[in-house]
């Protein structure tokens, strides 16, 4: 309450300014936190979209070279354990021993290209691969006759929920299982030979 005596009102304007600054400061801190969460969500979304592109890429490659589809699962990933795999920290590309020499070469080239895409070799900045997800791994599992489970796993930024037990790609590779992200698709190779 403002008094008629000017000496009693001294400093009242300064207090109003300080209270206003504190309120603005809390608002700006909240905005900074919101921006951080927005950037994390954007990164998670980017990684998921990259994983889906790589997933569909491999499904298309297998489908295009279907006569030697077994080559893509030559060292078939154990669906529960998630090994062996391609991508981050993979040691080698599987060999192909079925089909013609041309089909084998295509399968090996496809697996090598997928491995390179998983580690982000298509985009380099400052000598580092930056074009893929964090710790990306690709797995191809033969789940039944002519049926393949193709999965891409990567490390998320924040804990959420652990993937289902049947999706073992990247299992125990990212610390906490709630930070492991996996997308997968099932591909059934049709027999296109005439009866």
Over residues 50-74, mean pLDDT: 89
Structure tokens at 45: 């979304």
User: Would you state the pLDDT for residue 134?
Assistant: 87
User: Would you state the pLDDT for residue 129?
Assistant: 63
Closest CA to 120 of 87, 150, 81: 87
CA distance 109 to 69: 13
Contact between 51 and 136 under an 8 Å Cβ cutoff? The reply is: yes
User: Would you state the pLDDT for residue 32?
Assistant: 92
Tens digit of pLDDT for each residue in 99-121? Answer: 889 998 999 899 989 988 888 87
What's the predicted TM-score (pTM) here? 0.77
CA distances from 136 to 33, 43, 61, 81, 89 (A): 28, 14, 19, 16, 9
């Amino acid at each position: 309450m403002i008094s008629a005596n000017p000496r009693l009102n001294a400093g009242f304007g300064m207090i109003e300014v300080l209270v206003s600054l504190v309120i603005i400061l809390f608002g700006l801190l909240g905005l900074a936190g919101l921006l951080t969460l927005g950037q994390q969500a954007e990164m998670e979304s980017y990684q998921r979209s990259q994983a889906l592109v790589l997933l569909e890429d491999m499904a298309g490659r297998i489908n295009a070279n279907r006569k030697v589809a077994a080559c893509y699962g030559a060292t078939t990933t154990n669906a529960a354990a998630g090994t062996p795999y391609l991508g981050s920290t993979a040691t080698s590309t599987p060999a192909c021993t079925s089909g013609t020499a041309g089909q084998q070469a295509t399968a090996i080239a496809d697996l090598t290209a997928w491995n390179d895409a998983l580690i982000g070799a298509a985009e380099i900045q400052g000598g580092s691969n930056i074009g893929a997800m964090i710790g990306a791994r690709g797995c191809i599992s033969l789940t039944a006759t002519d049926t393949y489970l193709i999965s891409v796993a990567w490390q998320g930024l924040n804990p959420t929920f652990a993937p289902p037990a049947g999706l073992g790609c990247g299992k125990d590779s990212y610390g906490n299982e709630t930070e492991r992200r996996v997308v997968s698709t099932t591909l059934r190779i049709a027999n296109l030979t005439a009866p």
